[in-house]
Structure 1
Amino acid sequence: MIGQIYPVPQHSYSYELNKDFQFAAAHRIPSETAGKCQRIHGHTYFANITVGGDTLDESGFLINFATIKKLIHDRFDHTLLNDDPLFKGKSERFPTTEVMAEVMHSIIQEHLDQQGNKAQCLQVFLRETPTSYCIFRPRRGKEL
Structure 2
Amino acid sequence: MMQQFYPQVPHTFRFELNKDMHFSAAHFIPSKDAGKCQQMHGHTYFVNVTIAGNGLDPTGFLIDFKEIKNLVHKKYDHTVLNDHPEFKDMFPTTELLAQQIWQSVQELLNNRTNHPSCLQIIVRETPTSYVVFRPTEEDFR
Partner of 1:119: 116
Aligned-pair distance for 1:141? 3.9
- Return the letter of the residue paired with 1:137: R
Identify the residue that residue 84 of structure 2 maps to in structure 1: 84
- List per-residue Cα deviations over 1:4-28 (Å, max 9, x = no partner): 1210111000000000011000000
**CA distance in 1 between partners of 2:78 and 2:138 (Å):** 34
1:63 aligned partner, one-letter code: I
Unaligned 5+ segments in structure 1 are none
Name the count of aligned residue pairs.
141
Distance in 2 (CA, whole Å) between partners of 1:76 and 1:24 is 8
Task: Provide Cα deviations, 1:112-131, integer angstroms capped at 9, x if missing partner.
Answer: 00111110000001100011
Q: Is there any run of 5+ residues in structure 2 with no aligned partner, and where?
A: none
CA distance in structure 2 between the aligned counterparts of 1:130 and 1:49, rounded to whole angstroms: 18
For 2:105, the equivalent position in structure 1 comes to 108
* Larger helix proportion of the pair: 2
SS for the counterpart of 1:36 is: helix
Shift of 1:3: 2.4
Counterpart check, 1:142 vs 2:139 = yes
* Pairing 1:59-98 to 2, within 5 Å after superposition: 59-88=59-88, 90=89, 93-98=90-95
The Cα shift of 1:142 comes to 3.4
Q: RMSD of the alignment, in Å?
A: 1.2
Q: TM-score, normalised by structure 1?
A: 0.94
Alignment TM-score, normalising by the size of structure 2: 0.96
Instruction: List, as ranges, runs of 4+ consecutive aligned residues in structure 1 with deviation greater than 6 Å.
Output: none
- Percent sequence identity over aligned pairs: 52
Please give the per-residue CA displacement for 1:42-72, whole angstroms capped at 9, x wherever unaligned: 0000000000000001111111111001110
Map of 1:37-52 to 2, 5 A cutoff? 37-52=37-52
Deviates more, 1:72-81 or 1:57-66: 57-66
